[in-house]
C-alpha cells in the first residue's frame, strides 16, 4: 500500500473516531429539532454532564460537602457565598458527572456546619443555561419556551412542574437539560447524562 493511501485511511479512521468530539460552532438561533429535542450540550458553569470528573469539579468549585448516595456513586454539594442556592453534583461511573442541579435556597435540613463546608466562592448562581445562557433562576415558563422551544417531556414532581429537553447532539447515551417550576417560576435547573 502506498504511503498516501495509508495516510488517507489513518485520517478517515481518526475523523470517524472523533466525530462526537468535534467542537460545534456557537448557535446563531434557537437550536430546535423537529422532535422537540435541542442541540445543546448538557453544560453549565464549567461542568459538562457525562464528561466532567470529580477532580475537575473540585478544581473548579472546591471540595464542598460529599455524601455517598443510593443509586449513584455519590454527590457533592455546594452553596454560594450568600447561601441563597444549592448546587448538587451527582456522580456515576468513574466519578463522571451524571447530573448537576442548581436550586434556589438552602435546604432547611442542612446543618450550619455542613452549610459552611458547602460554601464555594466560585459558584455563580447568576450564570444562565440554554441558548446564549439566557435562562436564569426566577424566569417564567414563557422565558424558557422562548429560549428553547417546546420541551420533549413535561411531568409533575410533587408541587413542581418539570420540563426536560433531550439533546439531539449526544452520540451515545441520552443527555439533556431540565427545568423545575413552581407557580410558573423557575426554581431549579439541571444538566444530565444517562450513565451506561
Whole-number percent of the chain with pLDDT over 90: 65
Please count the CA atoms within 13 angstroms of the CA of 52 that sit on its side-chain side: 27
Report the phi/psi class of residue 184: left, alpha or beta, with left for phi > 0 and alpha for psi in -120 to 50: left
Q: pLDDT digits over 101-131, tens only?
A: 999 999 888 899 999 999 999 999 999 999 9
Residue of 89, 108, 107, 110 lying closest to 98 (CA atoms)? 89
Q: How confident is the model at residue 5 (pLDDT cuts 50, 70, 90)?
A: very low
**CA dist., res. 141 & res. 72, Å (int):** 30
Q: How confident is the model at residue 73 (pLDDT cuts 50, 70, 90)?
A: confident
Mean of pLDDT values over 92-99: 92
**CA dist., res. 187 & res. 139, Å (int):** 8
Query: pTM here?
Result: 0.79
Q: How confident is the model at residue 93 (pLDDT cuts 50, 70, 90)?
A: confident
> Which pLDDT does position 11 carry in this prediction?
40
Amino acid at each position: 500500500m502506498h504511503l498516501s493511501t495509508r495516510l488517507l485511511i489513518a485520517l478517515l479512521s481518526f475523523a470517524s473516531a472523533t466525530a462526537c468530539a468535534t467542537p460545534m460552532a456557537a448557535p446563531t438561533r434557537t437550536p430546535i429539532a423537529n422532535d422537540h429535542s435541542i442541540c445543546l450540550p448538557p453544560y453549565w458553569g464549567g461542568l459538562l454532564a457525562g464528561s466532567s470528573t470529580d477532580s475537575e469539579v473540585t478544581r473548579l468549585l472546591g471540595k464542598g460537602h460529599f455524601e455517598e448516595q443510593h443509586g449513584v456513586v455519590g454527590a457533592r454539594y455546594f452553596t454560594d457565598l450568600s447561601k441563597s442556592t444549592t448546587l448538587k453534583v451527582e456522580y456515576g461511573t468513574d466519578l463522571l458527572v451524571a447530573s448537576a442541579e442548581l436550586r434556589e435556597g438552602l435546604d432547611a435540613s442542612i446543618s450550619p456546619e455542613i452549610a459552611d463546608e458547602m460554601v464555594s466562592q466560585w459558584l455563580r448562581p447568576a450564570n444562565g443555561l440554554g441558548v446564549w445562557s439566557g435562562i436564569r433562576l426566577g424566569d417564567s415558563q414563557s422565558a424558557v419556551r422562548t429560549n428553547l422551544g417546546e420541551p420533549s417531556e413535561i411531568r409533575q414532581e410533587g408541587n413542581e412542574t418539570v420540563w426536560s429537553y433531550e439533546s439531539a447532539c449526544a452520540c451515545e447515551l441520552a443527555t439533556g437539560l431540565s427545568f423545575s417550576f413552581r407557580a410558573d417560576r423557575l426554581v431549579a435547573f439541571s444538566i444530565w447524562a444517562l450513565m451506561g
